[in-house]
Amino acid sequence: MVSKAQARAYSPKAADFEKMEFFLRAAPVVSIEKDATGGRTAPWIIGLDDGKAAMRAFFKYIHRPRPALLPTSYKYEIAAFELSKIVGLEIVPPVVEREIEDRPGSLQIFIDGCLTETERRRKRIEPPDPEAFARALENINVFENLTFAARSDPKDVLIHEDDWTVCRVDFSEAFEPSPKLIPGQDIRRCSSKLYENLTKADPGVVKNRLAPYLNEEEIRSLLERKRLILDRIAGLIREKGEESVLFGETGRKK
């Protein structure tokens, strides 16, 4: 989990992604904390400083891909970020592949000034714009179905306390090769932008972008889930009407 004490403030915006990816790839490593976090992936906290900015990042190096019995891989983290760019959904904090101390892994920017969805529920904090927040969660639900990353723990949803932008982290066990959607995470609606981008997402582009991180069966199942999601949304539109199913941009104050 990404906590307030572990990062400088960063809020994902598409215009910043390219700069942040470059920073993650090129900024010199100035510190490594190997025992600062727990969890199944035993991640390290990496301090980065290029002389202009100093930030910290989350380094995962475990690579136990399918068909392992309990698959966990840093490559699934990178695949989720690349897929989020393909579908134009700015919910995954930038992550790149990088080698640290001769270990390849995923390096993801820490984000600060957030509370988890778990904390929000426990503290009964209500969003300033409940509908915008609900819409953001609906888009995350679609993306979770696309990546087959079931939200077993709401702590994987991070909410920026300044503008209520919502992020989704931890895809290290995602991309199960299931040709079905996640049981119990029904899709009810999504943004018109996400629906349009899913419709336009070319299978060839998806394969090329994700081939370094996923195997053929994982990619094939992903594309089948994309088809099922589009069929589901199209069916809801026929049943309820477009205005009840598709909505405009979400989640940010102007």
Q: What is the pLDDT of residue 42?
A: 82
Task: For residues 72 and 160, state if they share a domain.
Answer: no
pLDDT digits (tens, 9 = 90+) for 198-226: 999 999 999 999 999 999 999 999 999 99
Q: What is the pLDDT of residue 212?
A: 97
Of the residues 109, 126, 161, the one at which a domain ends: 109
Q: What percent of the chain has pLDDT over 90?
A: 81
Task: For residues 10 and 77, state if they share a domain.
Answer: yes
Of the residues 109, 131, 146, the one at which a domain ends: 109
Encode 91-112: b = buried (16+ Cβ within 10 Å), e = exposed.
Answer: bbbbbbbbeeeeeebbbbbbbb
- Region 86-103: what's the mean pLDDT? 96
Task: For residues 82 and 176, state if they share a domain.
Answer: no
Q: What is the pLDDT of residue 101?
A: 96
pLDDT digits (tens, 9 = 90+) for 21-71: 999 999 999 999 997 766 677 899 999 999 999 999 999 999 999 998 899
What the block records as the tokens of 212 is 């370094």
Residue type, 130: P
Q: Is the pLDDT of residue 250 over 70?
A: no
- Region 6-17: what's the mean pLDDT? 52
- Region 174-181: what's the mean pLDDT? 96
Q: Is the pLDDT of residue 115 over 50?
A: yes
pLDDT digits (tens, 9 = 90+) for 117-131: 999 999 999 999 999
Enter the DSSP assignment of 68: S
Q: In 52-129, which residue ranges form alpha helices assigned H by DSSP?
A: 74-86, 117-123
Q: Is the pLDDT of residue 104 over 90?
A: yes
Burial of 228 (0-12, 13-18, 19+ CB in 10 A): middle
Which residues form the domain of 128?
114-247
Task: For residues 35 and 76, state if they share a domain.
Answer: yes
Task: For residues 121 and 241, state if they share a domain.
Answer: yes
Q: Is the pLDDT of residue 251 over 60?
A: no
Task: For residues 96 and 139, state if they share a domain.
Answer: no
In the chain, the N- to C-terminal Cα span, in Å, equals 29
- Region 74-82: what's the mean pLDDT? 98
Q: What is the pLDDT of residue 228?
A: 98
Q: What is the pLDDT of residue 151?
A: 80
Residue type, 175: F
- Region 157-177: what's the mean pLDDT? 94
Task: For residues 100 and 119, state if they share a domain.
Answer: no
| Number of domains forming the structure of the chain | 2
Q: Is the pLDDT of residue 112 over 90?
A: no
Give the SS3 label for residue 183. coil
pTM: 0.90
Average pLDDT, the chain: 90
Task: For residues 59 and 168, state if they share a domain.
Answer: no
